[in-house]
Amino acid sequence: MKIALTKTIDFEAAHWLPKFPEGHKCRRLHGHSFKADIIVEGEIDEEMGYLMDFGEIKKVTQPVVEQLDHYCLNDIEGLENPTAEMLAKWIYDKLKGELPLLKSVVVRETCTSSATYFGE
């Protein structure tokens, strides 16, 4: 049986979007309470009845959360233009080696705005 699991991580961070036009509100330094859904997908072990332990996903994502939480994203290597789209890809790339079943990463800047990266 194929299934997808979602583990949500959250972090507080500031950023500014240098590629936006002068005068745009997102060009100024501002912060968000980010949430990111880490989605893994695969075939469950019929005997065990689960795909993987949510605690394992949390363990793998913790170093990423620590790297992002309460920092200015623009100061982090690879996030010089930290749009939601680029942040979703950055998180995906950081986790893929540790989570082979990683399917996608959804980054939510606000309750109504998100970006999803599915890998290449």
CATH at residue 53? 3.30.479.10
Domain count across the chain: 1
Nearest-angstrom CA–CA distance, 101 and 57 = 10
Q: What is the pTM of this model?
A: 0.96
What's the pLDDT at 96?
Answer: 97
For residue 68, give its domain range: 2-117
> pLDDT digits over 9-40, tens only?
999 999 999 999 999 999 999 999 999 999 99
What's the pLDDT at 45?
Answer: 87
What's the pLDDT at 40?
Answer: 98
* CA 83 to the chain's CA centroid: 12
What's the pLDDT at 50?
Answer: 94
What's the pLDDT band for 99 if we cut at 50, 70, 90? very high
Q: Is the pLDDT of residue 120 over 90?
A: no
Q: Which residues are catalytic?
A: 26, 70, 109
What's the pLDDT at 29?
Answer: 96
Helix, strand, coil shares of the chain, percent, nearest 5, are 30, 40, 35
> pLDDT digits over 42-86, tens only?
999 889 999 999 999 999 999 999 999 999 999 999 999 999 999
